[in-house]
Amino acid sequence: MVVVLCATTAWSDAVPSPPEAAQPAPPAPGMVWIAGGEFSMGTDSPDSFPNERPAHPVRVSGFWMDATPVTNAEFANFVEATGYKTIAERPVDWEELKKQVPPGTPKPPADVLQPGSLVFVPPAHPVPLQDMSRWWSWTTGADWRHPEGPDSTNEGREAYPVTQIAWDDAVAYAEWAGKRLPTEAEWEYAAHGGSTTRYHWGDEFMPTGKHMANTFTGKFPYKNTIEDGFELTSPVRAFPPNGYGLYDMAGNTWEWTGDRYREDRHVRLQKRGLVIDPSSPAKTFDPTDPRSERRVIKGGSFLCHVDYCESYRPSARRGTPPDTGSAHVGFRCVISATPAVPAAD
């Protein structure tokens, strides 16, 4: 299991084209129409991480997107209707886990292979930011109902984004709802909200002193001043939406997409010129973790801070194993207006 981290990067220089005008009838409540268009995916900023570069032209077809991340209440409806158990609620499958560790790794004791997930536990003092184990803890009993561990609860947080959700859990929900996870290109295009600025709300992080997203305030990771009003996640409509009427496309929780993660994704696509509706790569490529598959997450979270990361920008992207849930990753769904013909990879 690995922890999804942020990385210090610069803003995307995407320039969306004028969107399509046609808007079909809403397919489900709470969804926003995202008219298709052309934009510059990724960034050419020298301050960004290599996995965000280079910028390259992409066109996406129109689609409907959930206005907010899936909430605890919405996920509870799914579980009640289906009896579904998330990966964090199931015993750890050693046969699957050993595929992700060095060959010859001995099987851990049975008490270690118990259901659980990753929980943020802030240290009491400054720590080296290169060692993520200083603030992340694998916690038995942590799941979507108990996001901070077995003694926590999501009661009273029905309007908060559901977390401790692995990729497979998100896919299961989407299929039940008659939807799907967005492609990375769809998510990034939607996140801009039609903007060309550093953040989807402008070039200034706090215009007129106002917090525009749920991020880490203070000194990461040991001192959270909670200046934005929230220590952990926040209700899904607590901060202003972007130009398309989408909430939490920056901060609060990272969000799963449907795409496999390739560190060199933008390099490969840039060589092809304009790409229309790029589909998921056929294979994962991440030199830091060659043994496991990874899926793309986007948007940053309540743990992002300028001194450590600035991933609440549209071009920011990370990869994480699909069987890993954590306290700062959620998801939202989309529905295609018409079946698109994805570009082969």
Spatial distance between the Cα atoms of 317 and 108, rounded to a whole number of angstroms: 32
**pLDDT tens-digit series, residues 16-50:** 444 554 577 778 899 999 999 999 999 998 888 89
- Ramachandran region of residue 199, left (φ > 0), alpha (ψ -120 to 50) or beta? beta
- Asked if residue 71 lies in contact with residue 161, where contact means CB atoms within 8 angstroms, the answer is yes
> Which residues are CB-neighbours of 285 under 8 A, at least 6 positions away?
261, 262, 263, 264
Q: Read off φ and ψ for residue 149, nearest 5 degrees.
A: 125, 175
Give the rounded percent of residues in the chain with a pLDDT score beyond 90. 75
* CATH class of segment(s) 31-336: alpha beta
The secondary structure of 101-130 as a DSSP string is S-TTPPPPPTTTSSSEEEEE---SS---TT
User: Cα dihedral angle (142, 262, 251, 13), rounded to 10 degrees?
Assistant: 180
Assigned token pair, 77: 């409806």
Residue 229, helix vs strand vs coil:
coil
**pLDDT tens-digit series, residues 202-217:** 889 999 999 999 999 9
pTM, rounded to two decimals: 0.89
Mean pLDDT of 106-112: 78
- Asked if residue 215 lies in contact with residue 289, where contact means CB atoms within 8 angstroms, the answer is no
User: Cα dihedral angle (114, 297, 2, 220), rounded to 10 degrees?
Assistant: -110
The full set of domain ranges for the chain reads 31-336
Q: Which H helix or E strand runs over 255?
A: strand 254-260
In angstroms, what is the C-alpha Rg of the chain?
19
Residue 173 has pLDDT above 60, yes or no: yes
CA distances from 243 to 34, 193, 195, 272, 274 (A): 11, 4, 7, 29, 24
Mean pLDDT of 191-207: 91
- DSSP state letter for 48: S
**pLDDT tens-digit series, residues 283-338:** 999 998 888 899 999 999 999 998 888 899 999 999 999 998 999 999 999 999 87
Residue 149 has pLDDT above 80, yes or no: yes
Strands of the 275-276 sheet, one edge to the other: 37-41, 56-60, 275-276
> Which residues are CB-neighbours of 252 under 8 A, at least 6 positions away?
69, 161, 213, 214, 233, 234, 236, 238, 239, 299, 301, 302, 330
